[in-house]
């Protein structure tokens, strides 16, 4: 659901063939009936839509090879103001953008990225220069170890990623 509560993003199969899957990202106004396919030009699957906290962007992962589930997930951004879509990570980055979580400033995302057989936390600024953020990893590890509340942590590559400290509705502030 968008931060203003006006829109819902979801993924659905747009291919009528029973033996092929083409997942696309759709949006629909809350209370509306007509969903809009935001990725109709993509012949391969798209998924994991995430609204930025400021509501300007809708990030999602996009594959390019039709029917190949192991294809890279490229990080894409839909500008909700102008409607344009652009790739953030580019072809030079050989990792899948998975487990995407927006930073509160809407200027970067964090992802749980499969890297050489391990899942690592990367920071992905909107300028498209991903980097492994060791300090973030250290902070996450310390906060989990020191937490005096329940910690909900989902860092499963390819299935989305969420991390909540404390009440899901009122997460603890960042240190």
88 in Cβ contact with 124 (< 8 Å): yes
φ and ψ at residue 104, rounded to 5 degrees: -60, -25
- Does an H or E element contain 28, and which? strand 23-29
Dihedral (CA of 122, 75, 52, 170) sign: negative
For 168, half-sphere exposure in the C-beta direction (CA atoms, 13 angstrom radius) is 3
- Model pLDDT for residues 52-99, shown as the tens digit of each residue: 999 999 999 999 888 787 888 889 999 999 889 999 987 777 888 888
Structure-token match 């809350």, residue found: 30
Reported pTM = 0.74
């Amino acid at each position: 659901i968008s931060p203003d509560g006006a829109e819902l993003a979801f993924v659905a199969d747009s291919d009528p063939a029973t033996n092929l899957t083409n997942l696309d990202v759709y949006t629909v106004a809350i209370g509306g009936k007509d969903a809009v396919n935001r990725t109709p030009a993509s012949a391969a699957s798209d998924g994991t839509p995430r609204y930025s906290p400021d509501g300007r962007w809708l990030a999602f992962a996009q594959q390019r090879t039709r029917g190949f589930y192991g294809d890279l997930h490229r990080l894409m951004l839909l500008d909700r103001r102008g409607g344009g879509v652009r790739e953030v990570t580019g072809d030079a980055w050989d990792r899948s953008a998975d487990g995407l979580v927006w930073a509160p400033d809407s200027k970067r995302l964090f992802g749980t990225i499969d890297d050489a057989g391990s899942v690592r936390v990367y920071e992905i600024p909107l300028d498209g220069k991903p980097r492994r953020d060791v300090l973030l990893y250290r902070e996450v590890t310390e906060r989990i170890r020191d937490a005096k509340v329940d910690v909900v942590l989902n860092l499963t590559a390819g299935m989305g990623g969420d991390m909540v400290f404390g009440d899901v509705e009122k997460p603890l502030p960042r240190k």
